[in-house]
Copies of this chain bind each other. A is one copy, B any other.
Amino acid sequence: MSDLPLGLVGVGKIARDQHLPAIAVTSACHCVATADPYASLPDVPSYDSLTAMLDDNPGLKAVSICTPTHLRYEQARQALLRGRHVLLEKPPGATLSEVEALVALAEQQGVTLFAALHSRFAPGVSKAQQWLAQRRIHHVDIQWKEDVRVWHPGQAWIWQAGGMGVFDPGINAFSIATAILPQPFFLQQARLDVPRNCQTPIAADLTFRDENGASIGAHFDFRQQGPQTWDIHVETDGGLLSLTQGGCQLSIQGDVIVNEPEHEYAGLYAHFVELVSAQQSDVDMAPLRLVADAFLYGRREMVEAFVE
């Protein structure tokens, strides 16, 4: 792959914590400019807007969009229309319709669009997927429980309409489950627990069924204290597979197969470089579609107010 000069759109927490370190270890890729009206980086040309950044950097081939979700569609559209490859943070948009439109536009423009489902790049995911491809699934138990006060301090947007609440981490569970399970699965029942002072759920209990009739339970909770849980357990005709710690640890029938530190975003950028090189896009709608299904079909229960 030749050189991929890249602009970062939105210089917030996720850009600093994850994107910049990952770009730094991706040899084909380097950050040549940033666009953010409120933030910048030392030693990198910074612009107030995406438009200004693109105008001033005709050699910039790609943009990575890390802005709040409701801004992403217009920004991605502009970048695609101006012939740039686009990496979209998750979720890839505020609504399904706008992401579908971006997919069509990227194809029309002949450039790469990558909806970055970072959890799929966790160390144990690809081996889990390979092993499960040969198995018959009996039951799946997804436990995705974390303390919102630790992971999203002061992030009021998560409780507002469109913020998705506990589905903000939950979409990571869906990203992994849709990657490793050999059959698609469909929502049968959902209960969304919504604090009385919030728009979005703080917890959710979901039941799915796959095409062979296997049941898949998912339990999301933002009120977890003590140890945090990001685990998927799959009972199969070949025994139990457990993908735990957000995909960092993989055990099959009790044997630890993978146990590595998290380095998802490095995998993400390596894949982006490959996609651009191969002139392909990678936008899997399945995880965001499952979230939308839960909002469309789920029963809401009002629970205790959330006070951070």
Q: Chain A residues in contact with chain B, CB under 8 A? A: 73, 77, 94-98, 100-101, 160-162, 164, 184-187, 190, 199, 211, 286, 289-293, 295-300
Pull 26 A–B residue pairs with CB atoms less than 8 Å apart, ordered by A: A77-B211, A94-B297, A95-B187, A95-B293, A95-B297, A96-B96, A96-B292, A96-B293, A97-B184, A97-B286, A98-B187, A101-B186, A101-B211, A161-B297, A161-B298, A161-B300, A162-B296, A162-B297, A164-B296, A199-B299, A199-B300, A291-B296, A292-B292, A292-B293, A292-B296, A296-B296
A189's closest neighbor in chain B, by CB?
A: B161
CB distance from A86 to the nearest CB of B (A): 16
A92–B23 CA distance with the chains assembled, in angstroms: 43
Partner of A295 from the list B77, B289, B296 (CB cut-off 8 Å) is B296
* B290-A97 in contact (CB<8A): yes
Tell me whether A186 and B73 are in contact in the complex, defined as CB-CB below 8 angstroms, given that A161-B299, A299-B199 are known contacts. yes
CB distance from A292 to the nearest CB of B (A): 4
Collect the chain B residues with CB atoms within 8 Å of residue A211's CB. Answer: 77, 101
Collect the chain B residues with CB atoms within 8 Å of residue A199's CB. Answer: 299-300
A290–B96 CA distance with the chains assembled, in angstroms: 8
